[in-house]
Amino acid sequence: MDLVFRQARLDDAAPLMDVAIAGGKIAGIGPKLECRGVTEIDAKGRVLIPGLIESHLHLEKAYVMHRRPNRSGTLMEAIAATAALKPTFTREDIAARSRRVLRQLVGFGSTHVRAHAEFDPAQGFAGFDTVLELRREFAEVIDIQVVAFPQEGILKAPGTGAIPPMIDRVGIPSVWESIAANEREALMRPLPGPRIYHPVPSMAHFLNQCF
């Protein structure tokens, strides 16, 4: 076996169990497995659970609050603050902050993450390309699903419309259709006062693309 956990707690109502892993899959579970593993870990009664999943994360925007604080604590100010900061991000800066986040995720037990990587005319593909590189770098400890995400919009950000073919060529899921649909709705159906858009149908379509 590649890996054997000894005396792990799977259920409070059951005895402690050994769990054997081979080829990345569970090959055996029992109170005292006779097999040996290349690596063996004595769980000492600790709980053994599947890896955790972080389903929504923006790696390239992590750890920047001190650079431009969100004084109001609102989503709109957060978006505005990061939009102002993005042109200052370098690949080295993004990589350093993203590695810090990924190491924390792994340390807390996450084995899968969906990273929404931004691209737009202001920052180009700096964040997007860096996240793709980190996906390869961390492949042995965490699976990173990269989603192409045009945060600044498509219709309202000149030049963004030329980007989708480049995204398609690397086979990355995107939220392109949902964002474009929301922007078209905003342009076609102006409402008095504050406007709130609920992208539920489009997001459902996006999730179907990802799984």
Q: What is the pLDDT of residues 144-188, one digit of tens each?
A: 988 877 776 666 666 655 555 445 544 555 454 444 445 445 444
DSSP E strands in 9-156: the ranges are 17-22, 25-30, 39-42, 52-57, 110-118, 143-149
% of the chain residues with pLDDT over 90:
48
58 Cβ neighbours under 8 A, 6+ residues apart: 115, 116, 117, 118, 149
Q: Are 38 and 5 in contact (CB under 8 A)?
A: no
pLDDT at residue 120 tops 80: no
Q: Are 104 and 115 in contact (CB under 8 A)?
A: no
Tell me the pLDDT tens digit for each residue of 190-207.
444 443 333 333 434 433
Mean pLDDT of the region 38-63: 93
